[in-house]
Amino acid sequence: TELVRQNLAERGVRHLMLLTRNVAALQLLFGSGLLDAARAEVLFGSRFPEDLSELQLVRQVNRVKLAMAKGETVVLVNHDNIYEALYDVLNQRYLVQHDPATGLRRKLLRLAIGSRSQLCAVHDAFKLVVIVEATHAYNNLDLPLLNRFEKQLFTPRSMVKSAVLVGPWRATTGSSDSI
């Protein structure tokens, strides 16, 4: 849990992939206070034919684009069909523009769908969190995609282990070094 908290708090680190079971990580993120629902955009993937259309993909990418510009956290849940459009986002391949008149710096990223692409503004606070079933990630996702993320196993069991191992010891000994 602490590593997830650190990743969400830091800027300039890899985006986060949470490996989970039964989409438990979504409830754990919001229920534990790691993410604020008011500052997050949650997008669900689906295998329904209409949800796999290019029009739906464009809508989903536009929601990511707006969240990037506002500095929100985007949570993608089992959303395999959007990763290709976010290639430069996942690589954190920023183009930085400096405005000599104002002295302001602006970060941009390319979002692409098929042969169409455009540069989009990226706020420094923007984060991308991908929630995926652990078995699906291991069996179906490409290794280059997996390598673009900081990956954490995030299940109710992992949170309980973290609380049991660290919480009581910290309370009784003052540190977790005694474990």
pLDDT value, residue 178: 35
Q: Are 45 and 78 in contact (CB under 8 A)?
A: yes
Give the count of alpha carbons within 13 A of 37, CB side only: 6
Q: Is the pLDDT at 174 greater than 70, yes or no? A: no
pTM score of the predicted model: 0.84
> For 39-72, how does the pLDDT look when each residue is reduced to its tens digit (9 = 90+)?
999 999 888 888 888 888 889 999 999 999 999 9
Comparing 135 with 169, which gets the higher pLDDT? 135
The more confident residue out of 66 and 114 is 66
CA-based nearest residue to 131, from 53, 35, 6:
35
Percent above pLDDT 90 for the chain? 59
- The separation between CA 20 and the C-alpha centre of its own chain, rounded to angstroms, equals 14
